[in-house]
Amino acid sequence: MEQGVKHFCGIFGIYGDGDSAKLTTLGLHALQHRGEESSGIVSGNGEYLFRHTEMGQVADVFADETVMNRLPGHLAIGHNRYSTTGSDTLSNAQPFLAECRDAFVAVAHNGNLTNTAELRNGMQDDGAIFQTTTDSELILHLVARSREEKMADRIMDALRRIEGAYSLVLATENQLFAARDPYGFRPLCLGQLGDAWVVASESCALDIISARYIRDIEPGELIMIDSHGLRAFTTSEADRHAFCIFEYIYFSRPDSIIFGDNVDKTRRRLGRQLAIEQPAAADIVISVPDSSNTAALGYANQSGIKHEIGLIRNHYVGRTFITPGQDSRSSKVRLKFNPVRGVLNGKRVVVVEDSIVRGTTLKHLVRMLREAGARQVHVRVSCPPIVGPCFYGIDFQTEKELIASAKTVEQIREHLGVDSLGYLSLDGMLGVAPNSSLQYCTACFTQDYPIPIEHEAGKLILERRAGNLF
């Protein structure tokens, strides 16, 4: 993606394998693109839970064998974090672990809750003490305060009180739970590895450990896995579903199955439709690697314009979208990308981009393409203009961050310094989205929010309301 959006987090869980923690590190490796700020694992051996979290990427956090030796057991949950609420500090690293009456419970969360402030303020008035500034910790407090006897009932009790977007994995000393909000905003799938059960944000995390994809966990479903096997419960139902279309456009890996369909195929369809709606007279089509690679292939195939590799990405520099703060994003563009002069020199170039959020990265890239000899630069975007903040787990949470909220397409074209600019239409995007019977969340394009939100609810809202006590 062009810059600035960042999603979220990746979650993983496994039950029934003696190497659960090691398999979880592999799953987290496959989900590294969903968050690079911190990584953590909680494992369980039937009697105790063991936790390790650190700032940094999976390969660094779990490189030391002594760390892995401190994570024994037949079950584990893991989390890669990008902060959509709360700052990027170790205290906010997940999974979180707490004692809940007669058991310890750990939780890892992907998404954003929308009624956090209301619930948190009420619990603080009752004497609750929060250790972090994330909405995810709230879930543990609700489980701990539930008066239900069975853990599954306590979790369902908690889930019925929260609103917003969540895919969750939870663990006790001898049970694994996974849940998805009733709207289905964030993906979560179920797999099997021999006799072990696996859950993950994306199916690519199943592939890396040779687990078999079984199905998606349904919106509003809670699954419980223990020595008796797998059982499923319905926590609540919504009047509609709201699958995040941005998972297909940008965030998920192209080799993953999410919401029941392959991401790569969807991006190719988006590219083909973009070529139909927004043709360009050009010599070559290039992508902004990596998330727009397959959309560019679709555009080239449909248009008949030759596809070339015109930008090389340095994979040893973190995603501009995955590093908090606008300054760090813009400063990394030249470190992250380099133009291929022999491909670009003298050519009319179509640049296929998956989305434009703030415009910073793309403006720098256009300048680099022209410096490399591109005669014309035409940008084509495989989604509509982003005009509304996301409050369900993606890091564009104020309108002032969004270039399309304040500028027309022509003004954005001038700002970027390109010869032409074209976006895919909303109808065109939804027309090629998988499973036409599904309902998608398109709030960032339409400002039609499935769940009412507080527009104050930015990433650091809990720090602001706590007076920066953390």
Active site members: 9
Residue 120 near residue 45, CB atoms below 8 Å? no
- Other Cβ atoms within 10 Å of 452 Cβ, number: 9
Residue 203 near residue 256, CB atoms below 8 Å? yes
Residue 71 near residue 90, CB atoms below 8 Å? no
* Dihedral of alpha carbons 445, 449, 455, 460, sign: negative
- Other Cβ atoms within 10 Å of 250 Cβ, number: 25
**Residue 67 backbone dihedrals phi, psi, to 5 degrees:** -65, -45
* Dihedral of alpha carbons 362, 365, 371, 376, sign: negative
Backbone region of residue 37 per phi and psi (left: phi > 0; alpha: psi in -120 to 50; beta: other values): alpha
How many CA atoms does the CB half-sphere of 349 hold within 13 Å?
A: 32
Q: Cα(28)–Cα(231) distance, rounded to whole angstroms?
A: 25
Q: Cα(69)–Cα(393) distance, rounded to whole angstroms?
A: 33
Closest listed residue to residue 110, CA positions, set 83, 89, 91: 83
What is the residue type of 170?
A: L
**Structure tokens, 128:** 């609750």
418 secondary structure, DSSP code: -
